[in-house]
Amino acid sequence: MTVPSLPPVPHPSDSDPAPDDSPRLDVFPADFCWGAATAAYQIEGAAGYDGRKPSIWDTFSHSPDATLNGDTGDIACDHYHRWHDDFDVAKSLNLNAYRFSVSWARLQPTGRGPLNPLAVAHYRAQLERLRALGIRPFVTLYHWDLPQELEDAGGWPARETVDRFAEYAARTAEALGDLATDWITTNESWCQAFLGYGEGKHAPGRRDWRAAVAAAHHLNVAHGLAVRAIRAARADASVGTAQLIVDFVPASSSPADAAAARRWDAYHNQTFLGPLRGGGYPADVLDLYREDGLAELIRPGDDAVMAEPIDFLGVNHYQQVVVAHDDDGTPPLRARDIPAEPALTSLGWSVKPESLRNVLVRVAGEFPDLPLYVTESGASFDDYVDPDGNVLDQERVDYLRRYLAAAGDAIKDGVDLRGYFAWSLLDNFEWAEGYRMRFGLIYVAYDTQARIPKASALWYRDLITDHAALPRPA
Ligand code: IFM
């Protein structure tokens, strides 16, 4: 593929406004991973191809009123057929790392038994190509695409799904492990458990708080078993999980608001971070789910499985949320968000670069010896193709500049940060929001499947080039 002609973009070192909020490149280690991330259902399309069977997202997105405009991932970015060209564009942006998920419903269509050889061949070809391009792959096993047959058997609230995931992880690591060193077990377990089973906004669309709590626990155990399975297949694998970490800030200095922020933190962050540290769930988390059966779900040995040592932790970070106590709020949270002030993304999420620094410093403090990666960070804006055929997304350039500066500040604070993966490489299917929200570095014209690197992509490319050109001690 010919990489499209490049629009004029400000160079990182002469961007406007003045670069005092630009990243200090010399603080990023020489081998820093400059990457972008995607997920299978959001980009692949080819829903019924080569033996793939439905996942919960196929079923959910085809249900009435589940997604904006009834959008589905049936075609998405057609990356299943266009990945070769997409990787060429990624290479042209100088990315040296790429995080993507393999589709469980493609690799093991019913959620049990041998892998689908066509899917194995597909992902092996992708991994081989990434290696040939010098792009380090980070393979995510689970980014929310549970095979529908497993949902029909109870889904994540059923303990059986944990064993199915362990089997899938083992078979996948055996099939692909010679081509990938870096593995991510689960992605944003909070979204799967609570948006999927609690609020019904994501697949499978269930609204059952107890089921959500059970799903959360089973995702934690599934993660630990997958770590073991990957290591068994490839002893030198580097394994972690990618969790959504929100920066919760109390609305005031009142003890009630501070307690509310703590409850949100327990719910959103510590439900998944806590058990990784060992010793089971923290007291705040157990308190939160006291009425919801969490304690009864924990089997002997689960605490150790959930705390299976990992090699890195992936931080997916998007926003700071200001939280106030609310007597009328639904228990057990009894809290509400204070709407963010501008600047906002088109999803209404706050733009507060210091929140990235806050969460990195905080997570590094909780996991002192663990390398961190920002496995997702990005923003949706109302991008459009201008009459010259360019996508001049200055808001995203500013966003990246300021968030990368915050990441650099965290490194200066002592955080062992090894990489940054912009969400996302491509505009894609943004779940319940369909195709309206555009997060990509690369614009996707869904009617033609044309790709146009946005100004932010070119800004990022230049930043990576400048970082690589820094003089290094011999
Ligand atoms: O698109 C999602 C991604 O799948 C998981 N993290 C958040 C992104 C933006 O909402």
The residue whose CA is least distant from atom 9 of ligand 1 is 430
Strands (E), 201-268: 238-244, 247-250
The Å distance, Cα 49 to ligand 1 centre, comes to: 24
**Cα 94 to averaged position of ligand 1 atoms, centre (Å):** 23
Is 220 a pocket residue for ligand 1 (Cβ < 6 Å)? Answer: no
In a domain, 474, yes or no: no
For ligand 1, whether the C-beta of 57 sits within 6 Å is no
Q: Whose CA is closest to 313, among 224, 241, 364, 222?
A: 241
Q: Where in the sequence numbering do the catalytic residues fall?
A: 188, 376
Q: What ligand 1 atom has the least distance to the C-alpha of 144?
A: 4
Residue 6 is assigned to a structural domain of this protein: no
Atom of ligand 1 lying closest to residue 42 CA: 4
Give the CB-side neighbour count of residue 259, counting CA atoms within 13 A: 11
Name the token pair of 276.
Answer: 């990784």
Residue 256: other Cβ atoms inside 10 A = 16
pLDDT number for residue 17: 41
Asked if 335 and 326 touch (Cβ cutoff 8 Å), the reply is yes
Q: How far is the CA of 376 from the centre of ligand 1 (A)?
A: 8
Is the CB of 188 within 6 Å of ligand 1? yes
Paired tokens of 350: 């706050």
- Which 8-state DSSP code applies to residue 288? H
Distance of CA 311 to the CA centre of its chain: 17
Could you tell me if the CB of 425 is within 6 A of ligand 1? no
Predicted confidence at residue 473, as pLDDT, reads 80
5 belongs to a structural domain: no
Contact 164, 216 (CB under 8 A): no
Regarding the beta carbon of 165 and ligand 1, being less than 6 Å apart is answered no
Does 39 contact ligand 1 (Cβ within 6 A)?
A: yes
Which parts of the chain have pLDDT scores under 70?
1-19
7 neighbors 388 (Cβ within 8 angstroms): yes
Of the candidates 96, 148, 43, 115, the residue with the CA atom closest to the CA atom of residue 442: 43
Q: Which residues are CB-contacts of 331 (< 8 A; sequence separation ≥ 6)?
A: none
Report the relative pairing of strands 312-316 and 247-250 from DSSP bridges. unpaired
Amino acid at 271: T
Residues 379-394 as b/e (b if ≥16 CB within 10 A, e otherwise) read bbbebeeeeeebbbbb
Chain centroid to Cα 343, Å, comes to 22
Can you give the residue range of the structural domain that contains 76? 12-468
Residue 339, pLDDT score: 87
CB distance 105 to 54 below 8 Å: yes
List of E strands, 304-449:
312-316, 320-325, 335-338, 372-377, 417-423, 442-445
Report the alpha-carbon distance of residue 122 to residue 131 in Å, rounded.
Answer: 15
39 is a domain residue:
yes
CA atoms within 13 Å, Cβ hemisphere of 28 = 26
The reported pLDDT for the residue numbered 468 is: 97
Q: What's the pTM value of the predicted model, to 2 decimals?
A: 0.96
| Position 7 in a domain | no
Strands 97-101 and 33-37: parallel
Q: How far is the CA of 432 from the centre of ligand 1 (A)?
A: 11
Which residue, judged by its Cα, is nearest atom 10 of ligand 1?
Answer: 430
CA distance linking residue 193 with residue 268, whole number of Å: 10
* Structural domains of the chain, count: 1
Ligand 1 atom at shortest distance from the alpha carbon of 431: 1
115's enclosing H/E stretch is none
Tell me phi and psi for residue 312, to 5 degrees.
Answer: -160, 165
pLDDT tens across 271-295, in order?
999 999 999 999 999 999 999 999 9
**Ligand 1 centroid, distance to 430 Cα (angstroms):** 7
Instruction: Please list the residues that pair with 55 across neighbouring strands.
Output: 147
Q: Confirm whether 250 is domain-assigned.
A: yes
User: Ligand 1, closest atom to CA 37?
Assistant: 3
Task: Give strand pairing partners of 418.
Answer: none
DSSP 8-state class, residue 191: I
User: Please, are residues 176 and 121 in contact by the beta-carbon 8 Å criterion?
Assistant: no
The domain spanning residue 328 has which CATH number? Answer: 3.20.20.80
